[in-house]
Amino acid sequence: MRHDHLLTAKQLSRADVETVLDRAAEFDADLEGASDLHAGKLLALCFFEPSTRTKMSFEAAAKRLGGDVVDMGSVESSSVKKGESLADTVRVVEGYADALVLRHPKQGAAKLASDYVDVPVVNAGDGAGHHPSQTLLDLYTIREQAGLEDLSIGIMGDLKYGRTVHSLAHALTNFDVRQHFVSPESLRLPRSVRYDLHEAGAQVREHEELEDVLPNLDVLYVTRIQRERFPDEDEYEAVAGEYRITAETLEAAKDDLAVMHPLPRVDEIAAEVDDSPNATYFEQAHNGVPVRMALLDLLL
Amino acid sequence: MTDTKLRVSKIQSGTVVDHVTAGAALHVLSLLGIDGHDDATVSLGMNVPSDRMGRKDVVKVEGRELSDSELEVLSLIAPEATINIIRDYDVVEKRQVERPDRVTDVLRCPNRDCITNAGEPVQAAFAVLDDGLRCEYCGEIVREDVTDYLQN
């Protein structure tokens, strides 16, 4: 892979993905063995929205590679609070670091940042847009659990606003994967993503009921349905209840179904599922470090 | 009024934009920055019967010849338009509009969560698709009601 920036999963070819995942596997086998690889390099973390996993795993990845991070901190404590534009912020931060990881509530923010700086920009989530580094760790997890060939994956929940869903759907078009999207009508994939999937010739089906497709799935990728997307509490409860995974739900699934979730979850996967062999989401989160090490290794 | 009769009312010099999508004439004026406060004499025909289109609009602008970039943008809202450049009552040039690969500075993105609508120093830019436009920043696709998003 040789890209200046990682802005969307759409820019990733199959070869790009495999390069990152193969490198990630090397790091995964020896997390402590790369501590001199990028000594002296600094990664800027600019998070305009809260983050636990993405931010901490990028920080861990940078430090595992021998580098370090400079962190903008919260928006409240930065010059953004004084009205500074994103364009100005990233031009300033560019002078402090060798690469920039950006999370921002507005779609297209990472592209805008990339217009203004010369250091590599990684989109760590731009509103309801994209989250490509999450996708790389998702693909790493899928490859470990089920392989990336002749696969049926169910992607369920908030498909309209779920940026991890959008990026994953794009990236999966590189592989022999049947994508089943499960959501209420109001949270279907946005037109722009459906357009891209169609253009890519992806094998896509849309469903409103999980039971229609669950027995055929190798992987079930669950996302959170956000309360604020609904006009009232009753409607939210009715919808969210239909897309909740319990031990009983999994009785209809293949024994080796991998249940994934980008986290954080609220109650869309019952705690009782955590102890089942199907639960893959914590391992998925742990994979964020070797995968982001691989990504930084290729970008820095 | 027939198509033939409409063409009889000639202008001395300027541009006739013919075969405009019915109902889009006012958007054409908006696109050209013509708001009635300048010197341009403008004639409009709206919902004129047309053999080719069923109904069409026609815009005649005295003393004004459209630039290539104006024609590109015009193609977005009136893809079938034909342009007649008039000098001394004669048609000296007849052109079809051509769709560009991308447009900038003309439309705003309809996605309110797009970074181009966030007060940043950036102009919305769109890739032109076969059947619509696509924001280069957020990926939003615009197919219908393109004229609702004209910047001016």
B58: helix, strand or coil:
strand
Q: What is the mean pLDDT of residues B35-45?
A: 82
Cα–Cα distance measured from residue B62 to residue B133, given in angstroms and rounded to the nearest whole number: 31
Q: What is the mean pLDDT of residues A36-55?
A: 96
pLDDT for res A2: 46
pLDDT for res A264: 93
Q: Is residue A102 within 8 Å of A75, Cβ to Cβ?
A: no
Is the sign of the CA dihedral A30, A33, A35, A38 positive or negative? negative
The pTM of the full predicted model, rounded to 2 decimals, is 0.89
Q: Is residue A185 within 8 Å of A160, Cβ to Cβ?
A: no
Burial A191-205 (b: 16+ CB within 10 A, else e): ebbbbbbeeeebebe
Cα–Cα distance measured from residue B113 to residue B15, given in angstroms and rounded to the nearest whole number: 39
Active-site residue identified among A10, A53, A207, A286: A53
Provide the shortest C-alpha distance from residue B115 to chain A (in Å): 5
Q: What is the mean pLDDT of residues A213-228?
A: 93
Sheet holding B82-87, edge to edge: B42-50, B54-62, B14-21, B82-87, B90-96
Mean pLDDT over all residues of chain B?
85
User: Helices (DSSP H) in B22-104: which residue ranges?
Assistant: 25-31, 68-77
pLDDT for res B107: 87
Residue of A nearest to B141 (CA): A192
Q: In whole angstroms, how large is the CA radius of gyration of chain A?
A: 19
Q: List CB contacts (< 8 A) between A195 and chain B.
A: 141
- What pLDDT band is residue A150 in, cutting at 50, 70 and 90? very high
pLDDT for res A137: 98
Q: What is the pLDDT of residues B61-112, one digit of tens each?
A: 888 888 777 777 788 888 889 999 999 999 999 988 888 899 887 889 999 9
pLDDT for res B35: 77
Nearest CB among B118, B135, B141 relative to A191 is that of B141
pLDDT for res B1: 47
pLDDT for res A131: 98
Nearest to A123 by CA among A19, A114, A115, A264: A114
Helical axes A163-172 vs A191-199, angle rounded to 10°: 10
Cα–Cα distance measured from residue A126 to residue A110, given in angstroms and rounded to the nearest whole number: 7
Q: With an 8 Å Cβ cutoff, is B114 touching chain A? A: yes
CA end-to-end span of chain B, whole Å?
Answer: 32
Cβ–Cβ below 8 Å for A85 and B121: yes
Q: What is the pLDDT of residues A155-205, one digit of tens each?
A: 999 999 999 999 999 999 999 999 999 999 989 999 999 999 999 999 899
Cβ–Cβ below 8 Å for B114 and A115: no
Q: What is the mean pLDDT of residues A243-266?
A: 96
pLDDT for res A1: 45
Ranges A42-51, A120-129, A165-174, B45-54: which has the least confidence: B45-54
Q: What is the mean pLDDT of residues A100-105?
A: 97
H/E run at residue A99:
strand A99-104
- What pLDDT band is residue B152 in, cutting at 50, 70 and 90? low
Tell me how far the alpha carbon of residue A232 is from its chain's centroid: 28
Q: List CB contacts (< 8 A) between A86 and chain B.
A: 115, 118, 120
Residue type present at position A225: I
Q: What is the mean pLDDT of residues A136-150?
A: 97
Cβ–Cβ below 8 Å for B121 and A87: yes
Residue of B nearest to A7 (CA): B137
pLDDT for res B9: 67
pLDDT for res A3: 60
Q: What is the mean pLDDT of residues A248-252?
A: 97
Q: What is the mean pLDDT of residues A117-122?
A: 96
Nearest to A123 by CA among A163, A67, A162: A163
Percentage of chain A exceeding pLDDT 90: 87
Nearest to A192 by CA among A130, A265, A104: A130
- B4 vs A215, residue with greater confidence: A215
Q: Is residue A136 within 8 Å of A169, Cβ to Cβ?
A: no
H/E run at residue A55:
helix A53-64
DSSP tag of A237: H
Nearest CB among A106, A126, A192 relative to B140 is that of A192
- A48 vs B79, residue with greater confidence: A48
